[in-house]
């Protein structure tokens, strides 16, 4: 249980939701895909988060004392070993799926997904790059969708509306940096999102958080998405509320 808490296993819901949505959109929303998908996304979630815990132990000691306490209870050497095992298991999952489905496009998406996963916290360390972190986080949510889509579909059939999902994630992924300013500074990192949020004028923040809704309206107007996607506008007041909370934060 401690390993699962340190590895934030709850985040696997994000990946499974995108994966299963894509399968359902291709006409294959059978329940057995949940049984097959759950082990993959559980292990992948642990691989991402455990690698991140080990790589971020300096920042977390400042930003997240409660997280550091959990990690120390488990032990950073144990976290490192578990992270390596989970990363290897994810690659094994992907190879097994390729052996079963023989679809190069699916394996290509999975391979890119694995490379992004590994290099987010270590390797190329995307999370230490102002725009690289936003691209990597966006990929973290888009790639599970593409993994589900490529089991039966083709790249040419991916619906254009997926770009709206990409913009949604891009506009919101900087949220995680709000609480991490002090620890990030010790690593020499300054968040793009925090910079936008701390500007004297709120216009850039509003444009950033409002961009998904503008994209949605444009896609519907151009006939690239069904009218029902305008229902996403119901979340716009929450984005405005979030903008006001961020602007009012003093620590």
The CA–CA distances, whole Å, from 157 to 26, 101, 119, 127 equal 9, 18, 29, 31
Q: Would you state the pLDDT for residue 92?
A: 93
Query: Whole-prediction pTM value?
Result: 0.85
Q: Would you state the pLDDT for residue 251?
A: 65
pLDDT tens for the 251 residues of the chain, in order = 999 999 999 999 999 999 999 999 999 988 888 888 899 999 999 999 999 999 888 888 888 888 899 999 999 999 999 999 999 999 999 999 888 888 999 999 999 998 888 888 887 778 777 777 777 888 888 999 999 999 998 988 998 888 888 888 888 877 777 777 777 777 677 777 777 777 777 788 888 888 999 999 999 999 988 999 999 999 999 888 888 787 766 66
Taking the C-alpha atoms of residue 99 and residue 113, their distance in angstroms, rounded to an integer, is 18
């Amino acid at each position: 249980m401690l390993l699962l808490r340190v590895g934030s296993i709850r985040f696997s819901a994000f990946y499974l939701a995108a994966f299963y949505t894509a399968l359902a959109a291709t006409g294959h929303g059978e329940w057995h895909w949940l049984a097959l998908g759950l082990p993959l996304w559980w292990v992948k979630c642990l691989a991402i988060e455990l690698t991140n815990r080990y790589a971020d132990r300096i920042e977390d000691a400042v930003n997240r004392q409660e997280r550091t306490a959990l990690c120390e209870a488990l032990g950073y050497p144990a976290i490192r070993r578990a992270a390596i095992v989970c990363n290897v298991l994810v690659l094994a999952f992907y190879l097994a799926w390729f052996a079963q489905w023989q679809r190069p496009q699916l394996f290509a998406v999975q391979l890119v997904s694995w490379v992004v996963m590994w290099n987010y916290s270590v390797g190329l360390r995307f999370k230490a790059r102002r725009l690289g972190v936003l691209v990597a986080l966006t990929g973290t949510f888009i790639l599970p969708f593409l993994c589900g889509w490529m089991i039966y579909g083709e790249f040419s059939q991916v619906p254009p509306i997926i770009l709206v999902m990409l913009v949604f994630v891009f506009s919101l992924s900087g949220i995680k940096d709000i609480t991490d300013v002090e620890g990030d500074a010790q690593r020499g990192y300054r968040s793009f999102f925090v910079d936008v949020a701390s500007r004297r004028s709120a216009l850039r923040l509003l444009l950033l958080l409002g961009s998904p809704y503008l994209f949605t309206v444009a896609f519907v107007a151009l006939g690239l998405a069904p009218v029902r996607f305008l229902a996403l506008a119901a979340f716009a007041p929450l984005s405005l509320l979030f903008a006001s909370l961020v602007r009012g934060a003093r620590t």
